[in-house]
């Protein structure tokens, strides 16, 4: 079972808040999972959510805080003193605590860290703040369980009990040598099943130890965890020393964000926005793409104006302008999308560009021929044989050229370390529009002999 937030629940809660009915809240709200409490607070008005937040028990507060929407969290924190913030950080996992501090000024961060009572916690956070947020270092947490190879199982269990208090979720015990270098791992299961006197060195797994380097890109970490079906991965520094671990819940966010970013770029939205963001922010995220589209339209107008005489002689030529531009755009987006996805998955690195182009050209010839035959029939029936010929030959040419550009451009962008997903959006549509118009009108003017 999981809690489903309903309109009715929100209404009951709002009336409980008005009546200051803390008994109702205790029975119905505060018994919930912290993720649900956060989801509920996200739906409340300011005066209500700060009131509710103040009633949450101290141990749960940091968990709720981490899950809140950014703007709501910022509003709540604004009412805190630096020592209150420091107190909340002590309860958080080190990676959440470090992420939490990212929005603050350098001076404020120093002040907050200075007020953290547990020195080790403070040191862990300071250490994590050194790493760029999009690297393994920026994702990792300092809470993990490690054991020395020479320990027997019973000593290991005793040590683990000490360490385990710090670590919320244990998946794997990392085994290190005397220099703290990662040499293997051990599942809790094998510890549970083993004889207490066996040495760890006889139990641990030393083959195929999967780890990531502290400077690895977060998308590479995601790929590694996905490939090997890992729930946590150890992070090592350049000397192979174990410095942290990354858990799958953080990687799920990376995978989702990456996929959403590609989708938004393909849809012509340049920043990671949500539908709950403000009107100005949404406008700003969209305008760059619309300007590209506008510029493309202006170029398109210039191309058509070159053929003004032709169009005033044969106005039917204008009829199929939208068809040609739309098809060029659609084919270009289809071809680029598949390249972008295979680049994102990191596969196909062994197919040469030439092989990819050949394949796309072949697909576009098949689809182009089919569509050209259909459009020839339609325009012959409604208009004339000549127009049918012009439109169908142009369509075939435009489909093939759009497929080739759609394949080449993301590959080129990727080669120059630019995000290839940029190519799937209005950019490629616009380019293919202008190109398609030129092809179509040239063929038209030549065929009609204008």
- Which 189-248 positions form the footprint of a copy of itself (CB under 8 A)? 189, 191-193, 207-212, 224, 226-229, 231, 248
* Residue list 38-97, contact with a copy of itself (CB under 8 A): 39, 43
Residue 35 as a binder of a copy of itself (CB under 8 A): the answer is yes
# residues near a copy of itself by CB under 8 A: 124
* Residue list 338-377, contact with a copy of itself (CB under 8 A): 338-339, 341-342, 345, 347-348, 350-351, 356, 359, 362-363, 366-367, 370-371, 374-375
Applying CB under 8 A, among 88, 141, 336, 397 the residue interacting with a copy of itself is 336
Residue 12 as a binder of a copy of itself (CB under 8 A): the answer is no
Applying CB under 8 A, among 50, 75, 215, 330 the residue interacting with a copy of itself is 330
Within 8 A by CB and 6+ apart from 201, the residues are 149, 150
- Which helix (H) or strand (E) element contains residue 233? strand 232-236
Applying CB under 8 A, among 110, 260, 271, 373 the residue interacting with a copy of itself is 260
Tell me the C-alpha distance between 200 and 255, whole Å: 35
Residue 418 as a binder of a copy of itself (CB under 8 A): the answer is no
CA distances from 28 to 24, 32, 41 (A): 6, 7, 14
Within 8 A by CB and 6+ apart from 188, the residues are 170, 171, 172, 173
Count, in order, helices (H) and strands (E) of the chain: 23, 6
Tell me the C-alpha distance between 291 and 282, whole Å: 15
* Chain center to CA of 71: 20
Instruction: With beta carbons less than 8 A apart as the criterion, state whether 140 and 95 touch.
Output: yes
3-state SS, residue 47: helix
Choose between 48 and 82: whose C-beta lies nearer to a copy of itself.
48
Residue 153 as a binder of a copy of itself (CB under 8 A): the answer is no
* Residue list 419-438, contact with a copy of itself (CB under 8 A): 424, 426, 429-430, 433, 437
Applying CB under 8 A, among 249, 271, 373, 415 the residue interacting with a copy of itself is 249
Cβ 413 to a copy of itself, closest distance in Å? Answer: 16
Residue 316 as a binder of a copy of itself (CB under 8 A): the answer is yes
CA distances from 215 to 69, 132, 370 (A): 29, 8, 50
* Residue list 269-298, contact with a copy of itself (CB under 8 A): 269, 273-276, 279-280, 282-283, 286-287, 289-291, 293-294, 296-298
Within 8 A by CB and 6+ apart from 259, the residues are none
């Amino acid at each position: 079972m999981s809690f489903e937030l309903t309109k009715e629940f929100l209404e009951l809660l709002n009336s409980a808040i008005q009546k200051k009915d803390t008994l109702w809240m205790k029975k119905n709200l505060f018994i919930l999972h912290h993720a649900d409490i956060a989801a509920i607070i996200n739906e409340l008005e300011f005066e209500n959510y700060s009131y509710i937040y103040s009633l949450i028990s101290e141990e749960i507060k940091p968990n709720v805080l981490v899950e809140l929407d950014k703007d709501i969290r910022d509003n709540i924190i604004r009412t805190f003193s630096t020592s209150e913030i420091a107190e909340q950080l002590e309860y958080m996992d080190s990676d959440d605590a470090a992420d939490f501090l990212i929005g603050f000024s350098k001076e404020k961060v120093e002040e907050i860290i200075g007020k953290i009572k547990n020195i080790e916690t403070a040191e862990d956070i300071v250490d994590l703040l050194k790493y760029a947020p999009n690297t393994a270092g920026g994702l990792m947490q300092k809470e993990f369980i490690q054991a020395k190879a020479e320990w027997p199982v019973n000593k290991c269990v005793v040590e683990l009990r000490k360490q385990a208090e710090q670590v919320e979720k244990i998946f794997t015990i990392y085994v290190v040598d005397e220099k703290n270098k990662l040499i293997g791992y051990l599942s809790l299961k094998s510890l549970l099943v083993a004889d207490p006197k066996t040495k760890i060195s006889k139990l641990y797994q030393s083959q195929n130890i999967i780890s990531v380097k502290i400077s690895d890109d977060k998308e590479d970490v995601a790929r590694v965890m996905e490939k090997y079906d890992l729930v946590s991965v150890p992070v090592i520094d350049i000397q192979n020393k174990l410095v942290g671990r990354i858990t799958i819940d953080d990687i799920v966010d990376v995978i989702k964000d990456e996929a959403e970013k590609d989708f938004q770029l393909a849809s012509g939205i340049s920043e990671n926005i949500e539908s709950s963001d403000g009107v100005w922010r949404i406008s700003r995220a969209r305008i760059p793409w619309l300007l590209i589209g506008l510029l493309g339209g202006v170029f398109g107008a210039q191309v058509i104006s070159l053929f003004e005489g032709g169009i005033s002689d044969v106005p039917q030529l204008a009829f199929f302008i939208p068809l040609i531009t739309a098809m060029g755009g659609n084919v270009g987006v289809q071809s680029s999308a598949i390249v972008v996805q295979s680049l994102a998955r990191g596969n196909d690195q062994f197919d040469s560009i030439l092989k990819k182009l050949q394949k796309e050209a072949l697909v576009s010839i098949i689809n182009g021929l089919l569509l050209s035959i259909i459009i020839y029939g339609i325009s012959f029936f409604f208009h004339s044989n000549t127009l049918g010929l012009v439109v169908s030959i142009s369509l075939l040419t435009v489909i093939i050229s759009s497929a080739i550009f759609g394949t080449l451009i993301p590959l080129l962008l990727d080669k120059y370390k630019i995000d290839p997903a940029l190519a799937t959006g209005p950019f490629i549509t616009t380019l293919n529009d202008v190109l398609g118009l030129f092809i179509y009108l040239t063929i038209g003017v030549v065929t009609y002999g204008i």
